[in-house]
């Protein structure tokens, strides 16, 4: 749903409901996204004008991060930007962290022209 909303600048509840019909049934999806801060009210309802909504900063930032990863940008390897790199990270995060390092190394090699 957030990927669809990312392509929409502003949307009404009706637009949301039209697209929501294509997805698995969840009556609370809109209110959950609003409550959790993924979307917010851009313009409140006034008279006959419907309320307009847009993705929040949180929603846009998350989707920008997803698109950056899909476009081949590196994953963050700092403790402040990626909690998997903290010293107190659980074992599963350490396993993922090692794979992230391999992915980043591969990305770096693809970006550098060969020395041949």
pLDDT of residue 68: 85
DSSP-derived secondary structure for 52-99: EEEE-HHHHHHHHHHHHHHTTPPPP-STTT-GGGSTT--HHHHHHHHH
pLDDT of residue 16: 93
Going by pLDDT thresholds of 50, 70 and 90, the confidence category of residue 55 is very high
| Full-model pTM | 0.70
pLDDT of residue 114: 63
More confident residue, 55 or 25: 55
Give pLDDT tens digits for 59-87: 999 999 888 888 878 888 888 888 889 98
Dihedrals φ, ψ of 101, to 5°? Answer: -60, -40
Q: Which of 58, 42, 81, 41 is nearest to 2 (CA)?
A: 58
């Amino acid at each position: 749903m957030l990927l669809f909303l990312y392509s929409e600048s502003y949307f009404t509840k009706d637009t949301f409901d039209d697209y929501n019909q294509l997805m698995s049934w969840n009556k609370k999806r809109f209110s959950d996204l609003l409550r959790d801060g993924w979307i917010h009210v851009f313009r409140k309802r006034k008279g006959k004008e419907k309320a307009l909504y847009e993705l929040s900063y949180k929603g846009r930032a998350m989707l920008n991060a997803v698109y950056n990863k899909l476009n081949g940008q590196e994953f963050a390897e700092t403790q402040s930007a990626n909690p998997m790199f903290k010293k107190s990270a659980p074992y599963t995060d350490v396993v993922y962290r090692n794979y992230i390092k391999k992915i980043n190394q591969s990305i770096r090699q693809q970006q550098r022209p060969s020395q041949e």
